[in-house]
């Protein structure tokens, strides 16, 4: 199991880290060409892009849990039907999101705060990602299915291919061709399309688990379980974007557009570091689901302890590095001198939240991988819908804009205390 742990977790961490690099690349080129306005516009519209990606990840991860659990129980027919129904659901979700978002995005953008000079660049970016919705849904959804089928290296390879393509196309479309926000969005979706097609070919070409037409016959009971299980990874992926929404509102209230630009830097920083920590729990997921299907409780405990040690180690290193290098982070994204000067305390607060965030997310992934869906949903949705909004509302009343930055570490302290209390009560009950 130890060899399998590293074989699954390390490629997953690499894949998630590369997802974070997508964010850095976009932020770098947009910031260099369009400055604070470009950074703020992308940050404000990001919840729309996140809904698309979270839908794909939720359905793909839900299918991966059912796939791995069935394989652990030696039920190959059920495993293959879970894979087929997940792919079917991903296709249907792509069409649904494209239609709904295209007719509602003007209202959504204004609701998110894209007004004045921010609306036009936000609209340019969001139109492209909505029209190319299928590429994003498939890229996010096929990756966990590929990992659940045991093809972890190929899942990582698809992400590497997409990242390299994104870097080149971002440079080409934004710098020489000067296509602006549309160029940045087009570079991202084309890279995701290439990655999605590669991973899809790898998934359907498995000789040990060949595709059959019968696997794609809709099973409503299977799809129901897929959706319920997928709610946790969906929320896990979307939670950061829900927080972006609340943070943007509070930044506009307490610091104006300059504060939104500072928060955009934090979003890029956390968006590039948090996926590395998320990759630990996501990499463990197929193994935990397999052990759950096989009834191996001792194996589950060993996996959880290894994952916890790894999260604490990496998150502590990332926290320290972010604080030490905080003066060099804002210029990386083309922030103005005023924005860079105001980002120092904000970066420290964001960095301090990383270790606690990593622990909470590890247990959230473990809970949904072992079919403890209610526990998983409690932490995944409790953070962005209850705990963090309360902190974002209350703390600025006493500390103004600094209270907005302090909300992240304070919220994570509360969540860790709640998690510890739940685990202690569960231990006492048993």
Give residue 83's domain range.
Answer: 2-429
- How large is the average pLDDT for residues 28-51? 76
Can you give the pLDDT at residue 348? 96
**pLDDT > 60? residue 77:** yes
Tell me what the mean pLDDT of segment 419-425 comes to.
91
Looking at the structure of the chain, the number of domains it has is 1
pLDDT digits (tens, 9 = 90+) for 178-209: 888 888 889 988 998 999 999 888 888 777 77
Q: Is the pLDDT of residue 317 over 50?
A: yes
User: Alpha-carbon distance 189 to 204, whole Å?
Assistant: 22
Q: Please write down the HEC assignment for all residues of the chain.
A: CHHHHHHHHHHHHHHHHHHHHHHHHHHHHHHHHHHHHHHHHHHHHHHHHHHHHHHHHHHHHHHHHHHHHHHHCCCHHHHHHHHHHHHHHHHHHHHHHHHHHHHHHHHHHHHHCCCHHHHHHHHHHHHHHHHCHHHHHHHHHHHHHHHHCCCHHHHHHHHHHHHHHHHHHHHHHHCCCCCHHHHHHHHHHHHHHHHHHHHHHHHHCCCCCCCCHHHHCCCHHHHHHHHHHHHHHHHHHHHHHHHHHHHHHHHHHHCHHHHHHHHHHHHHHHHHHHHHHHHHHHHHHHHHHHHHHHCCHHHHHHHHHHHHHHHHHHHHHHHHHHHHCCCCHHHHCCCCHHHHHHCHHHHHHHHHHHHHHHHHHHHHHHHHHCCCHHHHHHHHHHHHHHHHHHHHHHHHHHHCHHHHHHHHHHHHHHHHHHHHHHHHHHHHHC
Given pLDDT bands bounded at 50, 70 and 90, which one contains residue 254? very high
The predicted-structure confidence for 357-376, as pLDDT tens digits, reads as follows: 999 999 998 998 887 888 88
Among candidate residues 232, 256, 205, the one with its CA nearest the CA of residue 369: 232
Mean pLDDT of 230-238: 77
pLDDT at 430 exceeding the cut of 50? no
Residue 378 has pLDDT above 70, yes or no: yes
The CA-based angle 43-45-49, given to 5 degrees, is: 105
Top-confidence range, 69-73, 134-138, 157-161:
134-138
Q: What Cα–Cα distance (Å) separates residue 212 from each residue in 80, 143, 144, 196, 230? A: 9, 20, 20, 20, 24
pLDDT band at 22, cuts 50/70/90? low
CA angle 134, 135, 139 (to 5 degrees): 115
Residue 40 has pLDDT above 80, yes or no: no
Say if residues 245 and 111 touch (Cβ distance below 8 Å). Answer: no
Report the percent of the chain where pLDDT is more than 70. Answer: 95
Give the whole-angstrom CA distance, residue 420 versus residue 263: 30
**Average pLDDT score, the chain:** 85
């Amino acid at each position: 199991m130890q060899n399998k742990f590293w074989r699954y977790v390390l490629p997953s961490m690499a894949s998630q880290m590369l997802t974070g690099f997508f964010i850095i690349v976009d932020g770098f080129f947009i910031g260099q060409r369009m400055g604070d306005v470009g950074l703020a516009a992308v940050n404000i519209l990001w919840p729309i892009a996140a809904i698309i990606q979270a839908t794909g990840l939720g359905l793909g991860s839900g299918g991966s849990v059912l796939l791995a659990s069935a394989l652990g129980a030696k039920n190959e027919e059920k495993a293959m039907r879970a894979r087929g129904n997940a792919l079917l659901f991903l296709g249907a979700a792509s069409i649904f999101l494209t239609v709904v978002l295209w007719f509602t995005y003007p209202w959504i953008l204004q609701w998110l705060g894209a007004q004045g000079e921010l609306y036009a660049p936000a609209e340019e970016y969001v139109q492209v990602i909505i029209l190319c919705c299928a590429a994003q849904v498939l890229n996010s959804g096929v990756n966990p299915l590929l990992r659940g089928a045991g093809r972890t290296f190929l899942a990582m390879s698809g992400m590497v291919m997409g990242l390299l393509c994104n870097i080149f196309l971002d440079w080409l479309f934004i710098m020489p061709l000067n296509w602006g926000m549309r160029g940045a969005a087009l570079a991202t979706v084309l890279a995701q399309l290439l990655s999605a097609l590669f991973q899809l070919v790898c998934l359907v070409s498995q000789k040990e688990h060949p595709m059959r037409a019968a696997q794609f016959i809709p099973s409503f009971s299977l799809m129901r379980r897929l959706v319920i299980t997928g709610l946790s990874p969906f929320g896990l992926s979307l939670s950061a974007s829900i927080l972006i929404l609340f943070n943007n509102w509070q930044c506009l209230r307490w610091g104006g557009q300059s504060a939104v630009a500072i928060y955009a830097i934090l979003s890029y920083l956390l968006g590039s570091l948090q996926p590395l920590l998320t990759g630990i729990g996501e990499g463990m997921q197929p193994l935990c689901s397999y052990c759950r299907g096989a009834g191996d409780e001792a194996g589950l405990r060993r996996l959880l302890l290894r994952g916890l040690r790894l999260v604490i180690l990496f998150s502590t290193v990332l926290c320290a590095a972010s604080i030490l290098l905080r003066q060099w982070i804002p210029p990386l994204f083309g922030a103005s001198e005023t924005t860079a000067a105001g980002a120092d305390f904000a970066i420290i607060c964001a960095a301090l939240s990383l270790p606690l965030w990593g622990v909470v997310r590890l247990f959230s992934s473990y809970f949904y991988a072992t079919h403890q869906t209610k526990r998983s949903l409690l932490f995944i949705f409790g953070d962005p819908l209850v705990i963090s909004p309360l902190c974002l509302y209350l703390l600025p009343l006493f500390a103004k804009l600094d209270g907005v930055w302090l909300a992240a570490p304070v919220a994570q302290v509360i969540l860790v205390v709640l998690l510890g209390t739940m685990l202690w009560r569960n231990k006492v009950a048993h």
